[in-house]
Chain A
Amino acid sequence: MSAPTIVRIQEADFDLNAELTALRAGDARIGALASFVGLVRDINDGAGVSEMTLEHYPGMTEKALEAIVDEAKTRWDIYGALVIHRVGPLKPCDQIVLVAVTSAHRGEAFAACEFIMDYLKTRAPFWKRETTPDGARWVDARDSDDSAAERWQ
């Protein structure tokens, strides 16, 4: 069986069930599927958020995400991995990102999924701009995201 790495950047929303079903379809080796979905909140750093726009670096984004998944595959015995990240305008409650990993057992799938997400937060070239009552602002990077990524080094 092949072990697909799927990376997609898109404006459109994604159907969680359809994506997870497709990732594991027909592969009876898979005993575990771990997934993470990131969502737009309506509050950040003490201000209400009415809209968010995601910018990215076309070309580098895909390359960076594929490198992160490749790294995960060297660290854990996983089968398939899927990363979908949306760009463009988003509203609170919208889905932003999906990371899903399949493996024989849950330990590898949980760990690889968290690793991919932690590295995505610090290495994939996306930038969030949010609209608040005081106007639009670029979201600042968080030190806690750096700390989360450093745990894996």
Chain B
Amino acid sequence: MSVRILYFAGLREALGRASENVDLPTGIATVGALRDWLAGQGRDKLASAKNLRCAVNQDMAGPDAAIRDGDEIAFFPPVTGG
């Protein structure tokens, strides 16, 4: 399964990248599992960041949300617009 990952704001800066395409091992089927797996691949900030938010295909999603092949999954800090 292949997904596109996007990072924003302080998380993007800390990781030194705005996006990446990743091939996931079988068994990574939720946002929470994806985050843990990415943290284990050297994206340390994904493990330590507090209150990290996630969106799957541009809709806010919690850690239990399912992910599927071809999804666009974004991780970012709490929003501060307005």
Contacts and interface: CB of A to CB of B under 8 A. Distances in A.
Interface in B23-79: 51, 55, 58-60, 74, 76-79
A97 interface: yes
8 contacts: A120-B82, A122-B78, A125-B8, A125-B81, A126-B82, A127-B9, A138-B9, A138-B80
A140 B60 contact: no
Interface of B: 6, 8-10, 13, 51, 55, 58-60, 74, 76-82
A141 B80 contact: yes
Contacts of A128: 80-81
A139 B82 CA distance: 12
A106 interface: no
A141 B8 CA distance: 14
Interface in A114-139: 117, 120-129, 138-139
A63 B55 CA distance: 12
